[in-house]
Copies of this chain bind each other. A is one copy, B any other.
Amino acid sequence: MEPRVMIILGSASDFPIAEKAVNILETLEVPYDVRVASAHRTHDKVKRIVKESTEGSVEVFIGIAGLSAHLPGIMAANTHKPVVGVPVNVKFGGLDALFATVQMPIGAPVASVGVDRGENAAILAAQIIGAHDEEVRKRLSNMRRNFFFKIKDDEEKLEGKLN
């Protein structure tokens, strides 16, 4: 199936964060593709992936990177489609990556989620697709309901233990 979400990792070491996003997209049956490409070291590859994906089936991008984290910004500079950024904690608790992801200049926004928060990047991507695709919105609604039921269940178990 044609990918609707394109995930780019800044480096192979960001894989555990990407995995969290992938698991959510699998659950939501949203087709995706994952690439590894660096804003600085394999820059043309980033650009080529973004350009081709934009013209193809991709509706949302996810960029995952740590440190000076230029990857999501570079992606955002090469497409009119929305780009979600996930700052990864390598140093400073991820504050460097968060700043580099979110503090974009006028005209090239990145939609930043929390540090190491791959799951939320995927949910946000599904929300963006779901804004015009009722099927995805329903699956998202189901997943969140199940997730919230599970939380409620955990809550009740813990409350049972505590009181």
Contact indicator per residue, chain A 128-140, by CB within 8 Å of chain B (1) or not (0): 1111110001001
Q: How far is the CA of A152 from the CA of B120 in the complex (A)?
A: 28
Contact B42 A100 (CB under 8 A): no
Total identical chains: 8
A68-B103, A107-B40 are known contacts. Are A132 and B130 too (CB-CB below 8 A)? Answer: no
Taking a contact as CB atoms closer than 8 A, the residue among B41, B76, B127 that contacts A80 in the complex is B127
Q: How far is the CA of A134 from the CA of B105 in the complex (A)?
A: 25
**Chain B residues closer than 8 Å to A91, beta-carbon distance:** 89, 93-94, 103, 114-116
Q: How far is the CA of A139 from the CA of B154 in the complex (A)?
A: 34
Q: Is A111 an interface residue (CB 8 A)?
A: yes
